[in-house]
Structure 1
């Protein structure tokens, strides 16, 4: 059985088992709901029946009906949470099955990160719909999505850093259950990008109520006065009216603090409640025995093996949820009247912040890192035929056998190789329209990027030197900047030259240099540019329709190699092999295609 079929069976098996579990939970929900209704009705009927009878009878009725009724409410809530978890688990695995067939519409493509000025991401379709990011992204938190996008936009350039990330991805790859749990827990609360920043802002903000001694002792004073007056009232030493009046006074005066508490609750309440989800994610990290250095570093961010971070976050979540009880006006008045409950609860939250504010940013950092690693590990798990490329310290080296583009269907992708083993060195690719030049450039670029972020690549084997990737494949004009197509391309080329002059090591991928000018100008400019690249010790690939660029090999016989993609015309039909061959292209197809489409071609 092929690895692909094994993967499909694995995901389908999880779906089938989870659907069976879901049926059981739904039955339990129905039965518990029915039992709750029966207990409630029985309790009401029993109270009505024994209302005028013995007090013991009423106590027994309440004990055997309403007490289990309250317990079943909590159990019912847990069942609903379990149901939601199982439904999300089914959805997650169905998404993976669709992704096997290249349907990644369920995943976020990170369109907000599209930047035409970026060194390579715009040219290589890294972000956006049907992008590489959408194909790989399995993050379930906005923190993780932002971190993964950063990794895609800032490639690693050190051999040790790449190997460290490869080790972490390899460790998480077989941990399907852990990765799916992490994703499901994160998806059960879909936060917003601003959540992390706002939580950090709250953690960094100074406490207000605990820093004021007069306010700080109020809950204790109110509670003490109430206890004394109630005790005296029971003992008959003071009237119950006095105790009640004082209680009402306390309840009303507590509203002096309500406005400030409501403001804080409105600003940060929902943001802090997301920490309930984060507590589950942190707990997963705490429980997992992690071995690779990068994953151990993540665990250190949450306190190592102490397993206190998740407990602390869960406690804050409970405090915030308890504060929400103030929305019940009657309950809030009673609790505030007894011991200024809102103020006491707010000071407990401030005390938590004073204790853990310095650690909270590290916990969020751990979640972001783990979420991003889970995405890359899922990518590796879903592609068992991909390999981890070997980074080298020898500049410049890029050798790969049978490279394929990850976004191209397996059954249709024609794979090609590449070999560059010195500096400077350029590959010049010529060929007809639609023969495969641009696809090859993107295939090399995408796999090089994957290699530089520590991910596996679609190749039989690959070694590479991690230089900074720079591309110019789809330069566009800008009406807003009053910038022509040609000027935009010149700016890009100047950026590359400036970086080379500054001593940066680049891997350059260019498609059709100087497209925006006339043929003679283009040819002269292209020759001059490539010669300058050679003088600056650069490496890269250039695709062109200009066959004369192939003559540069005469000036640089050991630094330039010509390859081509040919088009064949057989029985008046155009065919492509998409296989790269050595040499300069011999066949062009523009005139042939024009004739096929009924456009007259006049030969002089």
Structure 2
């Protein structure tokens, strides 16, 4: 089994190898650049020296030097591609080294997906700076980023689906070369990442030119006419001047379509270029001997996508030749090339538009799975949870040495969790800063990871997947003229409604009914938990209200009390962050106020 140290050593080795390759390629680029200059200058100088010896002499000299020059240009471009790859490979491995030390600033944080009204994401810091999304995110495509965010925001509840994803993550976890190649290829795209919706919008848009039969015939008519004129000129029947005038008329007529073509190219041209990157990613995936059922499904869904997408990419690149005005004019005058090219692109769209959403989904799911696999690889001490089927009377959530994955491993205090029946609630009491809220988030984050198909920060876990719903940091809303207390009531009403509709929930609440007086709060909290029990709910609640601990007397087999204590010895306040059975005995608010110079009357 690997360790964090061995993984860091491997990333460091890969980064150093990439940097060595980069230096080697840079030296080659320098040498080839010099050789190109020598060939170019030498060819021109030789041609000048031989200019009086006839065109064959100076033309031959140019050919001898310029042909190798052109070959070196092509080789030079390949060297620059290798240089870009080596730079990105070194960067990727340095990022992973930083991530092992909990620095994930290089990765997108997904803050755009944050929604305070979400069932759990806002409470558990799923999106945003220093979030779970940022910690997991290794996506290199927009569809991948979108899928990962969607998975985090709508976790799986089906045991078979989670196990299927676990299988795929396990397989990809062991394929570090494939994962890094996939990510590097995706990151090498230098243009803007086209939004998936814009690509689908293009695929769904109607064709402009092909529906008109006359336009479909025109390239053939113009091309055939020019070919006939060439034959007539060659046989002396038609003068070259007449053909030239006709050709110019064709060239001028072709400009009628230029405006429409330009609009299409401006809107979609750059966006569609990223499809070339997607095609190479699919090709890379096709070459892998993947065994997991989910990965097989994705490969089948993508089908022959890579070849089809590469063909579209070539068509779009060819259309870019219209920026070369000389070639553009010559080709248009010869056979309405611009119109012909647009109809080839539209024909591709008609043939493959229906498949494009599936291809993008295949890329997105693969990319998102790569993130989960990298997370699994970087945490060899994490475990994949065992899943149980949900039944009317059963619910299981057992975990040993449960820790928060975003807390530094050398500071993370791990605790157990056990819940093995339905309904059942755990009530956590404790002093300020003793660890209650962190424990709730630890439970919630690992529950979410388990339902994603990822490994969890525990030595073992058994879980019945159900819907997760939290209320940890409800906030008021000035724009909606909504008080804090009313916002919390709406959240609790949402939970009750879902339970009454028959949904199975795992509920995490922190200090419920904070926005009212202590008497109302206590009365309301007791009533709420009793209602949860009657609705067969499972969950965990943290509170400062020690009276809630008395509920264990009313539901001795269904409600259990645990506590986080603050230990006060003289003037010293210490926290063990260890979960203990029972109701909290020590409170520290007055002690902390006195330490900060705030007078507290005995």
Q: 1:324 aligns with which of 302, 314, 320?
A: 320
| Paired position in structure 2 for 1:64 | 64
Give how far 1:71 is off. Answer: 2.1
TM-score by length of 2: 0.97
Alignment of 1:563-578 (within 5 A): 563-578=562-577
Matched, 1:346 2:342: yes
C-alpha deviation, 1:194, in angstroms: 5.4
CA contact (8 A) 2:194 2:274 kept: no
Measured after TM superposition, the shift of residue 127 of structure 1 is 0.3
Match of 2:389 in 1: 393
In the TM superposition, what is the alpha-carbon distance from 1:207 to its structure 2 partner? 2.3
Q: Deviations over 1:313-365 (max 9, x none)?
A: 11111111111111111221112122221112112212222222222221111
Structure 2 CA distance for aligned equivalents of residues 351 and 34 of structure 1: 45
Where 2:18 maps in the other structure, the secondary structure is helix
Residue of 366, 369, 376 corresponding to 2:365: 369
Contact 2:193–2:271 under 8 Å retained in 1: no
Matching residue of 2:159: 159
Q: Secondary structure at the match of 1:254?
A: helix
Q: Do the aligned partners of 2:191 and 2:270 also contact (CA within 8 Å) in 1?
A: no
Partners of 2:312 and 2:348 within 8 A in 1: yes
3-state SS of 2:455 partner: coil
Deviation at 1:191, TM superposition (A): 6.5
Greater displacement, 223-232 / 162-171: 223-232
Q: CA deviation at 1:192?
A: 5.8
Residue 544 of structure 1 is matched in structure 2 by: 543
- Please give the residue correspondences for 1:555-570 in structure 2 after superposition, counting only pairs within 5 Å: 555-570=554-569
Matching of residues 300-315 of structure 1 within 5 Å:
300-303=300-303, 308-315=304-311
The Cα of 1:193 is off from its aligned counterpart by 6.7
Match for residue 507 of structure 2?
Answer: 508
Q: C-alpha distance in 2, partners of 1:272/1:314?
A: 11
Matches within 5 A, 1:81-160: 81-160=81-160
- For 1:423 and 1:309, the matched residues in 2 are separated by 47
Quote the Cα distance in structure 2 between the aligned partners of 1:136 and 1:500. Answer: 31
What TM-score results when the alignment is normalised by the length of structure 1?
A: 0.97
In 2, Cα distance between equivalents of 1:5 and 1:535? 50
The 2-side partners of 1:68 and 1:231 are apart by 36
More off after superposition, 116-125 vs 329-338: 329-338
In the other structure, the counterpart of 1:9 is: 9
Query: 1:42 and 1:213 mapped to 2: Cα distance?
Result: 54
Is 1:489 the counterpart of 2:485 in the alignment?
no
Contact 2:430–2:564 at 8 Å: present in 1 too?
yes
Of 330, 334, 350 in structure 2, the residue corresponding to residue 334 of structure 1 is 330
Matches of 2:41 and 2:177, distance apart in 1: 43
In 1, Cα distance between the equivalents of 2:262 and 2:113? 35
Runs of 4+ in structure 1 displaced over 4 angstroms?
A: 190-194
The 5-angstrom pairing of residues 467-486 of structure 1 reads 467-486=466-485
Alignment partner of 2:156: what SS? coil
Residues 142, 191 of structure 1: 8 Å contact kept: no
1:477-518 Cα distance to aligned partner (Å, 9 max, x none) = 111111111111111111111111111111011111111111
Q: Deviations over 1:233-291 (max 9, x none)?
A: 33433322112222222212111111111111111101111111111111012111211
Is 1:228 matched up with 2:228? Answer: yes
Larger mean CA deviation between 70-79 and 571-580 belongs to: 70-79
Contact 1:85 1:184 in 2 (8 A): yes
* Partners of 1:82 and 1:339 in 2: CA distance: 38
Residues 141 and 190 in structure 1, CA contact (< 8 A), matched pair in contact too: no
Count how many residue pairs are aligned between Structure 1 and Structure 2.
599
Deviation (angstroms), 1:2: 6.8
* Distance in 2 between residues matched to 1:246 and 1:74, nearest whole Å: 38
3-state SS, counterpart of residue 155 of structure 1: coil
Establish whether residue 27 from structure 1 lines up as the match of residue 27 from structure 2: yes
Q: How far has the Cα of 1:185 moved from its partner? A: 1.2
170 and 534 in structure 1: CA distance in 2 versus 1, 3 angstrom threshold: same
1:246 aligns with 2:276: no
Tell me what 1:593 maps to.
592
Within 5 Å, give how 1:511-522 maps onto structure 2.
511-522=510-521
Distance between the aligned counterparts of 1:46 and 1:210, measured in 2? 52
SS in 2 for 1:463: strand
Q: Distance in 2 between matches of 1:302 and 1:248?
A: 46
Please state how far the C-alpha of 1:25 moved relative to its aligned partner. Answer: 1.0
The answer on whether the counterparts of 1:469 and 1:507 sit within 8 Å (CA) in structure 2 is: yes
Displacement of 1:453: 1.0
Q: Tell me if structure 2 keeps the 8 A contact 1:141–1:191.
A: no
Partner deviation per Cα, 1:542-570 (whole Å, 9 max, x = no partner) = 11111111111111110111100001112
Indicate the residue corresponding to 2:462 in structure 1. Answer: 463
Q: Is the 8 A contact 1:143 1:193 kept in 2?
A: no
1:547–1:585 CA contact under 8 A, matched in 2: yes
Indicate if the aligned counterparts of 1:550 and 1:584 stay in contact, CA closer than 8 A: yes
Matches of 2:193 and 2:525, distance apart in 1: 44
Q: How far is the alpha carbon of 1:79 from its aligned partner? A: 1.2
| Gapped regions of structure 2 (runs ≥ 5) | none
- Displacement, 1:64? 1.1
Q: Is contact 2:551-2:559 (8 Å) kept? A: yes
CA contact under 8 A between 2:427 and 2:560: conserved in structure 1? yes
- What residue in structure 2 maps to residue 428 of structure 1? 427
What is the aligned-residue RMSD (CA, Å)? Answer: 1.4
